[in-house]
Amino acid sequence: MVRRLTSVSPFTEFRKSCVTILEDALSKTLPRASVLSFMFAVPPSPGFGELSSSICFELAKKIKKTPLELAKQIVKVMNVSPFPLIQSTQAAGGGYINFHADYAELSSMTFKSAQILDTEYGHVKTDEPKSIIVEHTSVNPIHPIHVGHARNPVLGDALARILTAHGHKVSRHYYVDDVGRQSAVIAYGYEKLGKLKPEGKLDHSIGTIYTITSCITEIQRLKRELDQAKESAPAEEVTKLQQELDDWASAAVDLEGRFPQLFNELLGAINKDKNPEHRVNDLVRGYEAGEEEAKQLIREVCQICIEGFRETLDRAEIFLDSWDWESSFAWNGDVARTLDELKKTPYVFRVGDVLEFDAEKVVQDFDLKEKLGLRKGYEVPSLTLMRADGTTLYTTRDIPYSLWKLQRVEKVINVVGMEQKLSQMQLKLTLYALGHRDIAENLIHFAYNLVTLPGYVMSSRRGRYITMDEVMDEAVRRAYEEVTKRSPHLPDEQKRQISDIVGIGAMKYALVEVDPAKPVTFTWDRVLDFEKNSAPYIQYSHARACSILRKASGKPKNPDYSLLTKPKERDTIVMLARFPEVFLDAAKNLRPNTIADFANALADKFNSFYTALRVIGAEPVELGDARLALVDATRIVLRNALNLLGIVAPERM
RNA sequence: GGGCCCGUGGUCUAGCCUGGAUAAGACGCUGGCCUGCGGAGCCGGAAAUCCGGGGUUCAAAUCCCCGCGGGCCCGCCA
């Protein structure tokens, strides 16, 4: 057997050795026992080794022995000598078999691998590289990206980075939702203001114009509806309309107070129109139909807003490869064609002039109930494809877009909030209906839960939201205070550079750290915690590792890894060796938060290590050299882990 | 009414997919550690009916069933 000196995944080498040795031992002890899989667990404490098997609990049932007796018997026939990574095996507890790693071998392999692979250590490549589109962010171009949205770009970007590191060819797409009433409303307001490019941050200005325009037009619309309703409609409906009108009226007061000049300018201009509704509706219809005037106007406003988005995302180092316009699928006829195709299937029915898609029938015909994780009795609601007036709906237009994406790549990951779970499923079902069963299965909805603010109801109606820009500003400002306090000697330029890295890293970490299925409550405390369990804490550990390496004179010359016997050393080594497996799990199962968790845990171990044990000047020199190699490997792993999340690892802070 | 997601020390989170040994970490509280590689740090302490009740299993925070609490969805909005 050739002894391997390096590996893309040192802990996996150890794991494989354990499987082999256990298989051998089992075939000697219980030749007739058939074991399907060898699952190993990480024991609760290092005293139990690095891996353990509970297989004896199962096997003992079939023979007349206790699990512990069997474990002892199996361990007895094990010969670890052909396996350099295994130091020893033992039977323990009620019947576990524990496998202890040889730390000298494991650390040697781990440190060498980290040094040689460097920026690639841990980024284990897939055997089946695929082309993948990650669609993320896709905030409507009518207001800025706010904290409620911010989890999307951060998660999407981390996913894209992880999948790229895994060897896939990833393309990051932004779906610009420019069709529909909202875009027409902002275009209308923009037109009324004389089509001047707004001052200040573009998406923020667009957001304000949109909110005010929408407020004024809604009030006028409701007033008219109310007048009509008073004539004919039941009292109940009148009350409802009145309530809605009151809501908007109070929003108007609020908005006028905050933006008096803009509000009155828009109010004056809109009041000159007899019925703004006509113009807005005209724009909605004209834009979807591809009429030149509407096209120019709406595209122009959207572009302005997107320019602002790009600035925000650039600052967060989140980059997109493609901006896909919803309207282009309407204009090139794809939407109409898709609708025609769908109409030919048995899954579309009419309710009056409205077209409905029978999602439930597709589930039944294609036998998808179990596959989609649906309960037996559950009926998937139908999806409206076309309004009575012939215009389409959002999800309808998403069908040709999804096909377009799926025809270009082998897998599409849509980073979309989980509140859209149903429509994402209906979308997938339309693909089945259209006969694209094969590619439909390549469409993945990466769902995440909402971000909420305590004691602060975000309201797009009132234009009250905390923008991602504000979060970054505040995070960077606080980081600057910290840097100034802690490293007053640094030149200001460097302080600013560091506070950017720290502040933005802190924001990203807070949004990516939590399991996407769980909601995040946004508080400044949470995001800007510069202490434990945060990006700054991990970044600090990285900076300290760099600092030690700077102070040490040169590379380790003659390390003796067998001297790394302290628990604090071993804990760190094992984590470094495990990083590739953690990465693999994150990449295969799309779990970016596990990377954040790992990085934090490694920083914990490393901090304990270097405060307790001296690196530079340790005696003997071979020990100092071995520890130096450990520090360098930690630096590499911390940096590689942070980079997967789009967080920069600073060398000083 | 139906469906999905979440529920773990006072607070926030990991673990749940793939069951396994004393449920891990952080904040807060509390007691220590700066003439030794950067104190954004380290070492200790108190603190948990893993929402409740059944079930499966040698073994349940984890799997199944029934509840409870919170959020979301079921639109000719996006």
* Peptide bond just before A620 cis, omega within 30 deg: yes
Residue A402: what pLDDT? 98
The architecture CATH gives domain A10-101: 2-Layer Sandwich (3.30)
- The spacing between the Cα labelled CA in A457 and the C1' in B51, in angstroms, equals 27
Nucleotide nearest to A452 (CA to C1'): B71
Q: What share of chain A is helix, strand, coil (3-state, %, to 5)?
A: 60, 10, 30
Residue nearest to nucleotide B59 (CA to C1'): A57
Nucleotide nearest to A591 (CA to C1'): B17
CATH assignment, A468-644: 1.10.730.10
What single-letter amino acid sits at A354? V
Beta strands in A469-583 (DSSP E): 520-521
Q: CB–CB of A417/A448 below 8 Å?
A: yes
Q: How far is CA A569 from CA A5, A122, A217, A615, A640, in A?
A: 20, 20, 67, 11, 20
Nucleotide nearest to A631 (CA to C1'): B37
- The spacing between the Cα labelled CA in A56 and the C1' in B22, in angstroms, equals 21
CA distance A339 to A397: 9
Tell me which CATH homologous superfamily contains domain A132-176+326-452: HUPs (3.40.50.620)
Residue A272: what pLDDT? 93
- The spacing between the Cα labelled CA in A500 and the C1' in B78, in angstroms, equals 34
- The spacing between the Cα labelled CA in A623 and the C1' in B26, in angstroms, equals 32
Q: CB–CB of A642/A538 below 8 Å?
A: yes
- The spacing between the Cα labelled CA in A525 and the C1' in B12, in angstroms, equals 11
Residue A232: what pLDDT? 80
Residue A646: what pLDDT? 98
CA distance A243 to A222: 10
According to DSSP, the residues that pair with A51 across neighbouring strands are A99
User: Which DSSP string corresponds to A153-188?
Assistant: HHHHHHHHHHHHHTT-EEEEEEEE---SHHHHHHHH
Q: What ipTM was predicted for this assembly? A: 0.96
CA distance A276 to A220: 8
User: Checking DSSP bridges between strand A131-135 and strand A411-417, what pairing results, if any?
Assistant: parallel
A50 CA to centre of own chain: 30
Which chain B positions have some atom within 7 A of a protein CB? 2-7, 12-15, 17-28, 36-43, 58-59, 71-78
User: Which DSSP string corresponds to A630-646?
Assistant: HHHHHHHHHHHHHHHTT
- The spacing between the Cα labelled CA in A86 and the C1' in B32, in angstroms, equals 39
CA torsion sign for A302, A452, A506, A509 is negative
Contacts of A477 (CB under 8 A, 6+ apart): A499, A503
CA distance A167 to A284: 43
Cα first-last separation, chain A: 47
- The spacing between the Cα labelled CA in A395 and the C1' in B21, in angstroms, equals 51
Q: CB–CB of A653/A540 below 8 Å?
A: yes
Ranges of each domain in chain A: 10-101, 132-176+326-452, 181-318, 468-644
- The spacing between the Cα labelled CA in A498 and the C1' in B35, in angstroms, equals 30
Q: How far is CA A217 from CA A140, A222, A271, A479, A581, in A?
A: 19, 9, 9, 42, 56
- The spacing between the Cα labelled CA in A479 and the C1' in B17, in angstroms, equals 38
Contacts of A555 (CB under 8 A, 6+ apart): A628
Residues present in chain A in total: 653
User: Checking DSSP bridges between strand A322-325 and strand A169-176, what pairing results, if any?
Assistant: parallel
Contacts of A40 (CB under 8 A, 6+ apart): A15, A18, A19, A51, A52, A53, A99
- The spacing between the Cα labelled CA in A376 and the C1' in B54, in angstroms, equals 23
3-state SS track over A51-86: EEECHHHHHHHHCCCCHHHHHHHHHHCCCCCCCCCE
Burial class of residue A87, CB neighbours in 10 A (0-12, 13-18, 19+): middle
- Of A370, A211, A368, A189, nearest in space to A283 by CA: A189
CA torsion sign for A395, A400, A404, A406 is positive
Fold agreement between A10-101 and A468-644:
no
CA distance A211 to A191: 15
- The spacing between the Cα labelled CA in A180 and the C1' in B26, in angstroms, equals 45
- The spacing between the Cα labelled CA in A91 and the C1' in B61, in angstroms, equals 26
Nucleotide nearest to A326 (CA to C1'): B78
Residue nearest to nucleotide B13 (CA to C1'): A514
CA distance A1 to A197: 71
- Of A101, A109, A113, A115, nearest in space to A556 by CA: A115
**Ranges of chain A whose pLDDT falls below 50:** none
Burial class of residue A12, CB neighbours in 10 A (0-12, 13-18, 19+): middle
Residue nearest to nucleotide B75 (CA to C1'): A384
pLDDT per position as a tens digit, A539-552: 999 999 999 999 99
CA distance A451 to A506: 16
Backbone angles phi, psi at A96, to 5 degrees: -80, 155
- The spacing between the Cα labelled CA in A278 and the C1' in B40, in angstroms, equals 58
According to DSSP, the residues that pair with A88 across neighbouring strands are A100
Nucleotide nearest to A94 (CA to C1'): B21
Nucleotide nearest to A355 (CA to C1'): B76
Nucleotide nearest to A177 (CA to C1'): B78
- The spacing between the Cα labelled CA in A155 and the C1' in B27, in angstroms, equals 24
Q: What angle do CA A444, A374, A134 make, to 5 degrees?
A: 5
A369 CA to centre of own chain: 27
- Of A285, A283, A305, nearest in space to A294 by CA: A283
